[in-house]
């Protein structure tokens, strides 16, 4: 009769059926191959008989098994003796003692309305409950055991409040406030007991009853039984006779189960067990778990249809609901394969009274979901896995989680996503209408430590109830609501659309269409840069166009004349319409004149930095087929000679589709690639920026960027087409911030456009000086790299009247495609949001299949719109690789950037796809760790990367700038904010971030610095010796306690408690032994934050010192 070994594919339903038979004291057996039963009068009804017929073959198979079911014996003589906690009870016990980052009082809180209740009536009902259900008289002892007390020794406390003098609205608000804080304010502690408390509130209209029961003594079916009996007692009905079998008997029998086969099974299964769903999370976890409940229901007719469909497809309602939960999570999870904790009712003992024993009989089964096949196949896979794993449930899920925790972050829950089913024959019978009419439910709440999201389904006679209880502050804003909304929608699809059952994911996107382009405003009809410039010359001929580094000014008329002379020289040199012309000149007026001259000659410019190495210069020339270069090398066209020509009488104005410029960028293969952009594409961006940011002829734009960096295209053409003035800094590989600030102050610069590092350098000159020099700024545009949060705060602080914009995009999409107006720095930001699409463009965040991602789901950023480049010059293969035709038929550019939609409709940039880090199986977003580093006050800038150590092991390293920070203090702070695998093993200080010629971080130089610093640190540590040993007089007593609890001596003073086999429960024991041995009370969190032997000893010494100071002031 070993039901654990022979459960069929209807395992969950069969177990429910057997438990119901036990509860009704119905005996089942097999005789001559036929199913037989013996039941007390009235115990067998039509519904149960029908269910037994449906599972007849499975019942015969289970009851015919050669092995006997586990035995349980009633021992009433020792009913009041202490007994151990189950593994799940231990987890609840540790959680309440602060052993987890998200601690919680594990309990169920119910708030209901009655028409009329008296204190005496409620008190009598509570007394009856305690008499009938002994677990309500449980006291939990300091030594980690529990004890049931005799009736009357641990009465349930009832609070009474009269609110009848208040308005109905105010009194209801008071009730809600009390219910929200009931576990903390009313429920007694575990040690003091009992595990239940209640409050009666008299309102002007009706009464309210609020009660809380600890989950350490209750499972789902027991809670349902408890509430049923409470209502029965309140209505004056007698309660059922209490069973002789006790919860203590159950726990002792549970501990005696043979786990040999289960150990063998799970040791193999754990090796391939995936991570929990990786959903979008907030940066810092809340210390206390505050649960929020979302809920809904299906009517009886609809729920019956779902069950019939499940049966028709050869699966069970439980499997369907689990698979649907997994499908919804999969839409937001980074990985498609993950593990969910399934909470089950585990009563494996064949005893007539087993179903009558109220208590916590829960166990958890780790269920893997991979989303393979269509939905029916997924549900059947759930069903098969449950049938496979249930026979091995004698080894508790909690014990398995402890093993997982040893290889993962011990301070974070290993599997915080739970599925709890109350779908069963017993549940479906529900509550008699007479009892249901007594009350009206107001609210209910389930609180569980180490759980972030608990999806519960409960069946009653009215249909299906479903709840999602989530911890507030864990997930990104709005995500739980989005998950729940998608779950309800998908459930409706299963009900109404047969195709949903055959889809891969019935919760998948309702719409897979891409977002439309941002609407274009009324803009100029000009379609060529040259024509736009010449039109502005006519309007602003005497206005200042250029101010060079010496303060010399050039008007629009003078600039046009010189540019037309260069154009004439180029035409005479053989430049034809559409030809590429290189520009290799120092920053200055002649560089700008040359660029304009090329355009007026009908050509396209190709910038080449004057400091380019010869090999790189040659590679660009060879790849582009460049025939003409205005520069200073032998064979180049001399700009002074070109200026000696008369003006070109009739400029060659190209069409908007004609090539405007080619800018070469780095290629992943090491070979440069030239981005080819048309006149129409770039003009869309230029007009949009000027319109959106109100940049007019009165403005002065500081041209900070090198010509071969695409920001320079705006500096030159964005300025000139609106009649503003270009302020040109002196030529330098890296601009001198002092000179830049002096130029800003002298010329009254109003527009700053650069990478963040250049503004950061300017601010390093001091607040007063930089503030004074930059006070004329009307607009700051930063792009091309991360904007450090400290820099953003400085901008808002130093220049409160300046409009501050973050922009993003790609050279391949005409400089920028998105913008964000920075007016505040929100606490929940990891970085400045990427922002919203500019006119005529659109950002898309797509998954690997090209499907638009849901809010908060990480995907790859694609750009669409009028600004897209033609492709890579003379490079068809790379063009086809990066410029794709989406399945919708629309042309997109693949940026290689990771991002996600925020709840406000903006995009958050998460770094380059190729900068995503992976360390020991964990995926790490560098920007995530960097944002936490930047939150530390002394750190000005930071970069993290994985480098190889001397022992050829990957190590996470952080390089930071800033003065006066302690690396170990920084790491200590991060340990409290990030999972252990995301905390850098080393934090090194560097003087400054190395930059490349475009002002961006030089990744190669940073990696070299990290490797050198790590090598130096490793060599240093290998030559150091321990300052303390296990034989030291002070450390020896602590080491002895350690050995006593773990069963083995620590290997050295830096031994890690959890890596040496410690668990949360053993940690509680160590803290308790420390108090007894040293008379020092340490918080349990101390051990989790600093789990080494030496660190615990330091904590003891600090506590001693503080205690001594208090005693002897």
Q: What is the DSSP string of 416-442?
A: -EEEEEE-SHHHHH---HHHHTTEEEE
Q: How confident is the model at residue 743 (pLDDT cuts 50, 70, 90)?
A: very high
Q: Is 908 contained in some domain?
A: no
pLDDT at 1023 over 60: no
Number of domains, the chain: 6
The mean pLDDT of 35-45, rounded to a whole number, is 77
Q: How confident is the model at residue 521 (pLDDT cuts 50, 70, 90)?
A: low
Q: Is 906 contained in some domain?
A: no
Do both 766 and 872 map to the same domain? yes
Do both 840 and 720 map to the same domain? yes
* Domain-ending residue, one of 866, 901, 936: 901
Q: How confident is the model at residue 54 (pLDDT cuts 50, 70, 90)?
A: low
* Domain-ending residue, one of 986, 1021, 1056: 1021
Predicted local confidence at residue 171, as pLDDT: 93
Q: Tokens for 137?
A: 């008289």
Do both 291 and 156 map to the same domain? no
Do both 874 and 942 map to the same domain? no
> In angstroms, how far is the first alpha carbon of the chain from the final one?
71
Q: Is 1029 contained in some domain?
A: no
Q: How confident is the model at residue 952 (pLDDT cuts 50, 70, 90)?
A: low
Do both 1009 and 1042 map to the same domain? no
pLDDT at 999 over 60: yes
Q: How confident is the model at residue 447 (pLDDT cuts 50, 70, 90)?
A: confident
CA pair distance 874, 747, nearest whole angstrom? 42
CA pair distance 755, 808, nearest whole angstrom? 11
Q: How confident is the model at residue 525 (pLDDT cuts 50, 70, 90)?
A: low
- The alpha carbon torsion through 83, 88, 91, 96 (nearest 10 deg) reads -80
The answer to whether the CB of 1039 falls within 8 A of the CB of 1019 is no
Q: How confident is the model at residue 408 (pLDDT cuts 50, 70, 90)?
A: low
**What is the CATH classification number for the domain harbouring 396?**
3.30.559.30
Strands 659-665 and 986-989: unpaired
Q: How confident is the model at residue 606 (pLDDT cuts 50, 70, 90)?
A: very high
Contacts of 575 (CB under 8 A, 6+ apart): 581, 598, 601, 602, 603, 628
pLDDT at 924 over 80: no
**What is the CATH classification number for the domain harbouring 994?**
3.30.300.30
Q: How confident is the model at residue 1083 (pLDDT cuts 50, 70, 90)?
A: confident
Name which residue leads in pLDDT, 852 or 20: 852
Classify 753 as helix, strand or coil. Answer: strand
Q: Is 403 contained in some domain?
A: yes
Q: What is the pLDDT of residues 90-127, one digit of tens each?
A: 888 887 766 565 667 889 999 999 988 999 999 999 99
CA pair distance 319, 419, nearest whole angstrom? 11
Q: Is 166 contained in some domain?
A: yes
**What is the CATH classification number for the domain harbouring 711?**
3.40.50.12780
What is the number of other CB atoms lying within 10 angstroms of the CB of residue 776?
16
Do both 462 and 608 map to the same domain? no
Rg (CA), the chain: 36
pLDDT at 1020 over 60: no
Q: Is 510 contained in some domain?
A: no
Dihedral sign (CA 753, 759, 761, 763):
positive
The answer to whether the CB of 164 falls within 8 A of the CB of 125 is no
Do both 1006 and 880 map to the same domain? no
Least confident of 128-137, 167-176, 612-621: 612-621
Q: Is 3 contained in some domain?
A: no
Q: What is the pLDDT of residues 659-713, one digit of tens each?
A: 999 999 865 454 678 999 999 999 999 999 999 999 999 999 999 999 999 999 9
pLDDT at 921 over 50: no
* Domain-ending residue, one of 992, 1021, 1050: 1021
Do both 468 and 582 map to the same domain? no
Kindly list the distances between the CA atom of residue 458 and the CA atoms of 295, 320, 342, 424, 702, in Å, as whole numbers in the listed order.
Answer: 11, 14, 14, 8, 66
Q: At what angle do helices 87-96 and 1064-1078 cross, to 10 degrees?
A: 60
The mean pLDDT of 1071-1085, rounded to a whole number, is 82
The string of DSSP letters for 919-976 reads ETTEEE-HHHHHHHHHTSTT--EEEEEEEE-TTS-EEEEEEEE-SS--HHHHHHHHHT
pLDDT at 1028 over 50: no
Q: What are residue 808's phi and psi, to 5 degrees? A: -145, 170
CA pair distance 23, 1037, nearest whole angstrom? 52
**What is the CATH classification number for the domain harbouring 1061?**
1.10.1200.10
Predicted local confidence at residue 522, as pLDDT: 56
The answer to whether the CB of 397 falls within 8 A of the CB of 257 is no
Do both 607 and 737 map to the same domain? yes
Its domain, for residue 28, covers 14-64
Least confident of 583-592, 847-856, 973-982, 1076-1085: 973-982
Predicted local confidence at residue 424, as pLDDT: 67
* For the chain, percent of residues with pLDDT exceeding 90: 49
Q: What is the pLDDT of residues 263-286, one digit of tens each?
A: 999 999 998 899 899 898 876 666
pLDDT at 449 over 90: no
Q: How confident is the model at residue 1098 (pLDDT cuts 50, 70, 90)?
A: confident
Continuous H helices in 155-259 = 168-180, 182-185, 220-234, 247-255
* For the chain, percent of residues with pLDDT exceeding 70: 87
The answer to whether the CB of 91 falls within 8 A of the CB of 397 is no
Q: Is 314 contained in some domain?
A: yes
Kindly list the distances between the CA atom of residue 1103 and the CA atoms of 934, 1029, 1037, 1083, 1099, in Å, as whole numbers in the listed order.
Answer: 31, 21, 17, 10, 6
Q: Which residue has the tokens 């209502």?
A: 231
Predicted local confidence at residue 1079, as pLDDT: 86
- pTM for this entry: 0.74
CA pair distance 715, 725, nearest whole angstrom? 10
β-sheet bridge partners, residue 362 = 345
Annotate 343-400 with three-state secondary structure: EEECCCCCCCCHHHCCCCCEEEEEEEECCCCCHHHHHHHHHHHHHHHHHHCCCCHHHH
Do both 620 and 764 map to the same domain? yes
Do both 959 and 1092 map to the same domain? no
Predicted local confidence at residue 99, as pLDDT: 57
Do both 340 and 232 map to the same domain? no
């Amino acid at each position: 009769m070993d039901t654990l070994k022979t459960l069929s594919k209807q395992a969950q339903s069969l177990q429910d059926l057997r438990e119901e038979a036990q509860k009704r004291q119905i005996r089942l057996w097999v005789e001559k191959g036929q199913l037989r039963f013996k039941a007390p009068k009235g115990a067998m009804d039509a519904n149960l008989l029908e269910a037994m017929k449906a599972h007849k073959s499975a019942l015969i198979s289970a009851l015919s098994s050669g092995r006997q079911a586990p035995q349980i014996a009633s021992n009433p003589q020792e009913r009041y003796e202490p007994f151990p906690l189950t593994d799940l009870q231990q987890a609840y016990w540790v959680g309440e003692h602060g052993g987890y980052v998200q601690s919680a009082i594990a309990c169920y809180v119910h708030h209901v309305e009655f028409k009329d209740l008296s204190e005496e009536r409620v008190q009598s009902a509570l007394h009856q409950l305690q008499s009938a259900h002994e677990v309500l008289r449980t006291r939990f002892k300091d030594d980690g055991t529990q004890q049931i007390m005799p009736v009357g020794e641990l009465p349930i406390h009832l609070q009474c409040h009269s609110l009848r003098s208040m308005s109905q609205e105010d009194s209801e608000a008071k009730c809600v406030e009390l219910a929200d804080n009931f576990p903390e304010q009313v429920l007694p502690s575990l040690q003091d007991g009992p595990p239940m408390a209640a409050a009666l509130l008299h309102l002007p209209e009706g009464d309210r009853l609020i009660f809380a029961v600890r989950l350490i003594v209750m499972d789902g079916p027991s809670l349902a039984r408890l509430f049923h009996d409470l209502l029965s007692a309140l209505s004056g009905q007698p309660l059922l006779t209490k069973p002789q079998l006790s919860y203590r008997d159950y726990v002792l029998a549970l501990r005696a189960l043979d786990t040999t086969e289960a150990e063998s099974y799970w040791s193999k299964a754990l090796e391939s067990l995936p991570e929990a769903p990786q959903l979008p999370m907030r940066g810092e976890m809340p210390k206390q778990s505050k649960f929020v409940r979302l809920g809904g229901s299906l009517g009886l007719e609809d729920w019956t249809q779902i069950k019939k469909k499940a049966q028709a497809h050869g699966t069970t309602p439980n499997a369907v609901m689990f698979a649907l939960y997994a499908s919804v999570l999969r839409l937001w999870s980074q990985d498609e394969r993950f593990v969910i904790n399934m909470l089950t009712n585990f009563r494996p003992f064949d005893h007539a009274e087993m179903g009558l024993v109220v208590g916590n009989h829960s166990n958890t089964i780790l269920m893997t979901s991979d989303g393979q096949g269509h939905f029916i196949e997924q549900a059947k896979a759930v069903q098969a896995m449950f049938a496979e794993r249930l026979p091995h449930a004698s080894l508790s899920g909690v014990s398995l989680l402890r093993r997982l925790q040893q290889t993962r972050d011990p301070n974070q829950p290993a599997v915080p996503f739970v599925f709890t089913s109350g779908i069963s024959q017993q549940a479906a019978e529900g509550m008699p209408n007479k009892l249901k009419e007594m009350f009206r439910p107001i609210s209910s709440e389930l609180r569980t430590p180490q759980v972030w999201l608990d999806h519960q389904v409960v069946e009653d006679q009215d249909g299906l109830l479903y709840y999602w209880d989530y911890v507030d502050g864990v997930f990104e804003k709005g995500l739980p609501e989005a998950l729940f909304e998608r779950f309800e929608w998908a459930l409706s699809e299963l009900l109404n659309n047969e195709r949903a059952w055959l889809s891969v994911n019935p919760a998948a996107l309702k719409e897979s269409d891409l977002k439309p382009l941002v609407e274009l405003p009324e803009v100029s009809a000009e379609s060529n840069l040259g024509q736009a410039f010449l039109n502005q010359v006519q309007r602003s001929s005497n206005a200042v166009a250029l101010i060079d580094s010496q303060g010399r000014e050039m008007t629009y008329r003078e600039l046009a004349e010189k540019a037309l002379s260069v154009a004439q020289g180029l035409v005479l040199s053989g430049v034809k319409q559409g030809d590429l012309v290189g520009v290799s000149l120092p920053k200055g007026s002649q560089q700008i004149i040359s660029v304009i001259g090329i355009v007026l000659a009908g050509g396209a410019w190709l910038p080449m930095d004057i400091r380019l190495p010869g090999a790189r210069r040659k590679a660009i020339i060879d790849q582009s087929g460049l025939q003409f270069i205005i520069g200073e090398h032998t064979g180049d066209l001399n700009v002074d000679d070109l200026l000696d020509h008369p003006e070109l009488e009739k400029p060659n104005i190209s069409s908007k589709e004609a090539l405007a410029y080619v800018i070469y960028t780095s290629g992943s293969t090491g070979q440069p690639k030239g981005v080819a952009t048309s006149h129409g594409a770039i003009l869309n961006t230029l007009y949009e920026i000027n319109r959106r940011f109100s940049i007019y002829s009165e403005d002065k734009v500081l041209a900070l960027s090198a010509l071969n960096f695409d920001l320079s295209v705006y500096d030159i053409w964005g300025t000139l087409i609106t009649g503003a003035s270009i302020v040109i800094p002196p030529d330098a590989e890296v601009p001198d911030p002092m000179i830049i600030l002096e130029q800003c102050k002298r010329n009254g610069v109003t527009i700053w456009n650069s990478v963040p590092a250049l503004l950061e350098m300017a601010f390093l000159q001091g607040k007063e000086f930089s503030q004074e020099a930059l006070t004329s700024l009307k607009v700051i545009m930063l792009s091309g790299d991360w904007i450090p949060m400290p820099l953003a705060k400085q901008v808002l602080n130093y220049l409160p009247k300046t409009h501050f914009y973050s922009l993003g995009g790609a050279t391949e999409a005409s400089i920028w495609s998105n913008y964000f107006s920075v007016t505040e720095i929100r606490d929940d930001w990891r970085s400045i949001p990427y922002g919203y699409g500019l006119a005529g463009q659109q950002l898309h965040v797509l998954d690997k299949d090209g499907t638009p991602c849901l809010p908060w789901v990480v995907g790859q950023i694609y750009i669409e719109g009028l600004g897209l480049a033609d492709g890579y010059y003379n490079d068809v293969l790379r063009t086809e690789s990066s410029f794709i035709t989406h399945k919708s038929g629309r042309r997109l550019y693949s940026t290689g950037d990771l991002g996600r939609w925020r709840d406000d409709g903006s995009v958050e940039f998460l770094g380059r796809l190729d900068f995503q880090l992976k360390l020991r199986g964990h995926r790490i977003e560098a920007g995530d760790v960097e944002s936490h580093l930047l939150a530390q006050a002394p750190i000005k800038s930071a970069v993290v990367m994985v480098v190889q150590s001397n022992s050829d092991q990957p190590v996470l390293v952080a390089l930071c700038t800033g003065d006066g920070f302690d690396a170990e203090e920084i790491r200590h702070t991060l340990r409290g904010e990030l999972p252990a695998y995301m905390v850098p093993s080393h934090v090194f200080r560097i003087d400054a971030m190395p930059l490349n010629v475009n002002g961006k971080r030089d990744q190669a130089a940073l990696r070299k610095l990290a490797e050198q610093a790590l090598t130096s640190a490793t060599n240093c540590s290998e030559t150091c010796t321990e300052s303390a040993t296990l034989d030291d007089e002070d450390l020896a007593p602590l080491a002895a306690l350690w050995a006593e609890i773990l069963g083995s001596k620590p290997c050295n003073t830096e031994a890690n408690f959890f890596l040496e086999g410690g668990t949360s429960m053993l940690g509680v024991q160590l803290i308790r032994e420390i108090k007894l041995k040293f008379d020092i009370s340490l918080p349990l969190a101390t051990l989790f934050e600093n789990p080494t032997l030496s660190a615990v000893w330091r904590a003891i010494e600090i506590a001693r010192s503080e205690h001594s100071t208090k005693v002897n002031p």
